[in-house]
Every structure is written in structure tokens, then in C-alpha cells.
């Protein structure tokens, strides 16, 4: 194929099915997207002390995220021995002085330096240049509000530049509390059939599906308001979607909150008050409404009446996604509220969550059908709301009330630029 330009038609707002099922497109993404973009690797609270580490992947490649022992700096290394490539760390998390390869025993310190080589004098005659054979390090690691992102591209713009105006929206969740946010222990991980972009695009601006695919949740009052207009109760003001620069997208809406446990209700009230102290007046009306967003390319966040989930859509081939979901909560939330957040997340956005089950059914099916030799000749329609978005004073990005696909198509417009070097 080679010519990725034709896959996204910016005049007609259509996307070629090969974007979701073609192996050549997928392989090119590993370099042009996952090799050059900022990828979420950990929350700072997972590695509070020197020597603490977690393992994850950037794209398909296994990495170690470690707070080094010398300067306490968070570093990210490919989890692969320089001798024959075996993983030097085989557990999810821990604290260590070094990473020892299980194959021949090369040992690296927390700064990635090769320290120990069995039979260094006898077999290598002391001649092996240890300084040249340290772990491969991602050259860029930067944080935003506790979220740690890494980038394999030395020349990438800063994380701050990449997030740009979208930080204004992320702060509605991440900067509303004096105590800051922490991730609860444990990560939900599961594999779904489907393409990684289908998860990313949905969270970045597909409110359209909520009233149909997630009907069962709408009916029990845990979905968007079903008033028949689909525009929400306060369109533009609180119920809206955003196309932000660099492919990021945001959904904002208000849902009527039913009877809550008094401890949770008090917590939400306190959280709103704290948010008003910390955030700009233009942000106040949006505190503790429902937020859903995607940071390009594969990081999403959802804040949903008292709980926040962040997740990564790890690519595992054109037709498989590993979803890793972390629960965030204010560091000083009372125990009852933590328990509530755990339960509501398990019920909604988790492997056992009803929303998650619904979404998991359609993404795999779509990719399977789009792979068909006939179906792949016909593009997918992303035209909803095109040309009707507006700039709203005091609020970043291009805004449109639900439903619209301006945010979703913005994701593919940016994807096209990354894939073609535009
Ligand atoms: S592969 Fe790691 S020491 Fe040989
Ligand atoms: Fe969904």
C-alpha cells in the first residue's frame, strides 16, 4: 500500500476500512505512532520510592518504568537484555537494586547500566565495553499531574506541547483536589478482539452510541439522559463534545444523580467546593459532571459520578487490544468513597462492567467484517456535525453539543498527519 494519505478523506470525512484491519497499516503504526508519540506508562504513585518499578508496554514493546536509585528520576527502559533479548524483568511491579537476566545472568542497575557480566574476565578477557551495552532507554519521560508518559522519539515536542489546550479539560479531573489523585492498587487487564483505535475514538468523542449500545445502562439511570433530544439538558453549556488540537477529544455531559450514600454525596460536594477553589471560573460548571476523553493516541480517561478510570488501549495486532484500566481517586478520599468507587467501576467500566461488555461486543465484530474483500472497498462515515462546531469563549477547542463526530474525526485527521509525516 504505502500511500497512507488516501486512507482518511478530510474533505468527505470518511475513513478507509484498512485503517482498522490491514497488517501493513498496523506495522507502520508501530513506528509512526507508537515510536513517536507520547505514551502513558504509569502513575507516579506506582513508583514512589527509589528502586520501585512497574512493567508495561509502549505499543507492543515491553518496558520497565523505574525510579532510579541514584537521582530518584523516573526512567523507562526496553525490557530486553542486550545480549540475546530476553526480558530482564519478569514481574508486574516491585522494588529492586538491579534487573538480572535469567538467561546468562547479565545484570543492569536502575539507571540501565550493565553492571554484572558472568565470566567477564575469563570469557570476555575483561574486554567487553559495559558502558556501551546498557538497557535501551526511552529518551523522553515527562509527567502531567502524576501521569507519566514516555516517548521513543528524541525530537518529539514536549508532553506539555502535545497536550496543549487539552490540559484545560484534563484538569477538571486531575487538578480539582488539593490532595491530588492516586491510583488504587491493581490494574484491570483484559484482551478484546478489535482494533486499538476503536477504543480510543469512542472515548474521544462517540456519545452517539450510548443511547443504543448501552441502552440497559440508560434504563437504570447510569447513562446519558434519555430525553429524546439527545442533546442533553444544557447543550453547549455542560453537554458538549470537543475536538482539540493534536487529535485529542472530549465528551462532557451531566447526568441526574440518584440517591447516593450520604458519605459519597458529602464527598462529591466537598470535591466540587475544592474544585472551585483550584480551577478557573470558566471550568466551575463542569466540575463533577461526566467527563470522557482520549489523549492521542491510546490513553483515555473517564470520570463518572465519583470515580475515575484511566486506561490504555495497547495494540496487539490489527485485530486485538489489551485494555489496561486503572482506578484514580483523590488521595484523601474516605474509605467508604474508595469502596463506592471500586464497586461502581466494577459495575460499569471494568472487565465485568456492563458498558465494557457492550463495547467489547461491537469492536471485534467490526474489524472482522471490515476485513472482508468486498467490505473493505467502501469507506466508513464520520460526517456527523462536520462544519457545525464552534469556538466558545473561555473554552478551548471546537465545541458541538451531542451528538457529533467532530472529535472522533479529529482523531483520524491527526492519525493521518502522523502516518504521512504531514
Ligand atoms: S540473554 Fe541476557 S544474559 Fe544472555
Ligand atoms: Fe461505550
DSSP assignment of 52-79 equals: EEEEEEETTEEEEEEE-TTT--EEEEES
Ligand 1 and 264: CB distance under 6 A: no
Q: For domain 164-420, which architecture applies?
A: Alpha-Beta Complex (3.90)
Q: Is 83 in the pocket of ligand 1 (CB under 6 A)?
A: yes
Res 347: pLDDT:
86
In the block, which residue shows the cell 543492569?
108
Which ranges in the chain are annotated with CATH 2.102.10.10? 39-143
**CA-to-CA distance for 136 and 114, rounded, in angstroms?**
11
Q: Ligand 2 center to residue 192 CA distance, Å?
A: 14
| Residue nearest to ligand 1 atom 4, measured at CA | 104
CA–centroid distance, 209 to ligand 2, in Å, is: 7
Over residues 352-379, the pLDDT tens digits come to 888 898 999 999 999 999 999 999 999 9
Of ligand 1's listed atoms, the one at least distance from the Cα of 86 is 1
251 — pLDDT class (breaks 50, 70, 90): very high
Cis peptide bond prior to 297, omega within 30° of 0: yes
Pocket of ligand 1 contains residue 81 by CB under 6 Å? yes
Distance, CA of 76 to CA of 97 (rounded, Å): 15
Q: Tell which one of 77, 104, 108 to mutate to probe ligand 1, the residue whose CB is within 8 A of the most ligand atoms.
A: 104
Judge if the beta carbon of residue 86 lies within 6 A of ligand 1: yes
Average pLDDT score over residue span 14-43? 98
Report the C-alpha gap between 417 and 4 in whole angstroms. 9
- Answer yes or no: is pLDDT of 305 > 80: no
Whether residue 419 has its Cβ less than 6 Å from ligand 1: no
Residue 202: its H or E element: helix 196-203
Indicate whether residue 123 lines ligand 1 (CB < 6 A).
no
C-alpha cell of 62?
515491553
CATH 2.102.10.10 fits 39-143, yes or no: yes
- Residue nearest to ligand 1 atom 3, measured at CA: 104
A 10 A CB-CB count for 321 gives 27
- Round to the nearest angstrom and report the end-to-end CA distance of the chain: 18
For residue 217, the model assigns a pLDDT of 80
DSSP H/E element including 267: helix 262-278
ω into residue 403 within 30 of 0, thus cis? yes
Interatomic CA distance for residues 82 and 215, integer angstroms: 51
Task: Please report the DSSP string for 340-394 in residue order.
Answer: HHHHHHHHSSSTT-HHHHHHHHHHHHHHHHHTSTTGGGSPEE--TTTT--EEETT
pLDDT classification of 256: cutoffs 50, 70, 90? confident
394: left (phi over 0), alpha (psi -120 to 50) or beta: left
Which ligand 1 atom is the nearest neighbour of the CA of 102?
2
48: left (phi over 0), alpha (psi -120 to 50) or beta: alpha
Parallel, antiparallel or unpaired: strands 390-392 and 380-381: unpaired
Determine the Cα angle at 264 with ends 226 and 239, to 5°.
30
* Residue ranges near ligand 2 (ion) with Cβ within 5 Å: 359
pLDDT tens-digit series, residues 102-161: 999 999 999 999 999 999 999 999 999 999 999 999 999 999 999 999 999 999 999 999
CA dist 191 and 182 (Å) reads 25
- Does 215 have pLDDT greater than 90? no
For the chain, where do the domains classified as CATH 3.90.380.10 start and end?
164-420
pLDDT, tens digit (0-9, with 9 covering 90-100), for 312-357: 999 999 999 999 999 999 999 999 999 999 888 888 888 888 889 8
- pLDDT number for residue 283: 97
Amino acid 307: pLDDT: 86
Asked if the model's pLDDT at residue 189 lies above 70, the reply is yes
CA of 94 to the centre of ligand 2 (A): 34
- Ligand that comes closest to the CA of residue 208: 2
Query: Measuring CA to CA, which residue among 237, 370, 356, 254 is closest to residue 304?
Result: 254
Residue nearest to atom 1 of ligand 1 (CA): 84
Checking if the pLDDT of 229 tops 90, the result is no
Cβ 323 vs Cβ 194: under 8 Å: no
- 326, 310 in Cβ contact below 8 A? yes
Q: Could you give the CA distance from residue 31 to residue 39 in angstroms, rounded to a whole number? A: 13
pLDDT number for residue 224: 64
pTM over 0.85: yes
Radius of gyration (C-alpha) of the chain in whole angstroms: 22
Q: Any idea which residue has 466540587 for its cell?
A: 272
Amino acid at each position: 500500500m504505502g500511500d497512507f494519505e488516501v486512507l482518511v478523506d478530510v474533505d468527505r470525512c470518511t475513513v478507509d476500512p484498512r485503517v482498522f484491519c490491514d497488517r501493513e497499516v498496523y506495522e507502520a503504526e508501530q513506528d509512526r505512532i507508537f515510536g513517536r508519540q507520547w505514551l502513558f506508562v504509569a502513575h507516579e504513585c506506582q513508583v514512589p520510592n527509589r528502586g520501585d518499578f512497574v512493567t508495561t508496554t509502549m505499543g507492543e514493546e515491553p518496558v520497565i518504568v523505574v525510579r532510579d536509585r541514584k537521582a530518584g528520576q523516573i526512567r523507562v527502559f526496553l525490557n530486553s537484555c542486550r545480549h540475546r533479548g530476553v526480558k530482564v524483568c519478569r514481574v508486574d511491579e516491585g522494588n529492586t537494586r538491579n534487573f538480572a537476566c535469567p538467561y546468562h545472568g547479565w545484570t543492569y542497575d536502575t539507571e540501565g547500566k550493565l553492571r554484572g557480566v558472568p565470566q567477564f574476565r575469563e570469557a570476555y578477557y575483561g574486554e567487553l565495553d559495559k558502558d556501551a551495552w546498557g538497557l535501551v532507554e526511552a529518551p523522553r519521560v515527562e509527567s502531567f499531574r502524576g501521569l507519566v508518559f514516555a516517548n521513543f522519539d528524541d525530537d518529539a515536542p514536549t508532553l506539555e506541547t502535545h497536550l496543549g489546550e487539552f490540559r484545560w479539560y484534563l484538569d477538571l479531573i486531575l487538578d480539582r483536589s488539593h490532595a491530588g489523585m492516586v491510583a488504587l492498587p491493581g490494574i484491570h487487564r483484559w484482551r478484546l478482539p478489535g482494533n486499538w483505535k476503536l477504543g480510543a475514538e469512542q472515548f474521544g468523542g462517540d456519545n452517539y452510541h450510548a443511547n443504543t449500545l448501552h441502552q440497559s445502562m440508560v434504563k437504570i439511570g447510569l447513562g446519558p439522559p434519555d430525553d429524546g433530544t439527545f442533546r442533553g439538558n444544557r447543550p453547549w453549556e455542560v453537554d458538549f463534545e470537543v475536538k482539540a488540537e493534536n487529535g485529542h477529544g472530549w465528551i462532557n455531559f451531566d447526568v441526574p444523580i440518584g440517591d447516593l450514600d450520604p458519605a459519597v454525596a458529602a464527598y462529591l460536594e466537598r470535591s466540587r467546593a475544592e474544585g472551585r477553589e483550584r480551577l478557573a471560573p470558566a471550568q466551575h460548571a463542569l466540575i463533577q459532571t461526566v467527563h470522557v476523553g482520549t489523549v492521542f493516541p491510546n490513553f483515555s480517561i473517564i470520570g463518572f459520578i465519583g470515580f475515575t478510570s484511566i486506561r490504555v488501549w495497547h495494540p496487539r495486532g490489527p485485530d486485538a487490544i489489551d485494555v489496561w484500566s486503572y482506578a484514580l481517586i483523590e488521595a484523601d478520599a474516605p474509605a467508604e468513597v474508595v469502596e463506592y468507587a471500586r464497586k461502581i467501576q466494577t459495575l460499569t467500566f471494568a472487565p465485568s462492567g456492563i458498558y465494557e461488555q457492550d463495547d467489547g461486543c461491537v469492536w471485534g465484530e467490526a474489524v472482522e467484517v471490515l476485513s472482508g474483500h468486498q467490505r473493505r472497498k467502501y469507506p466508513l462515515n464520520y460526517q456527523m456535525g462536520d462544519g457545525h462546531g464552534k469556538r466558545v469563549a473561555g473554552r478551548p477547542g471546537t465545541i458541538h453539543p451531542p451528538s457529533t463526530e467532530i472529535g472522533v474525526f479529529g482523531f483520524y485527521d491527526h492519525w493521518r498527519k502522523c502516518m504521512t509525516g504531514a
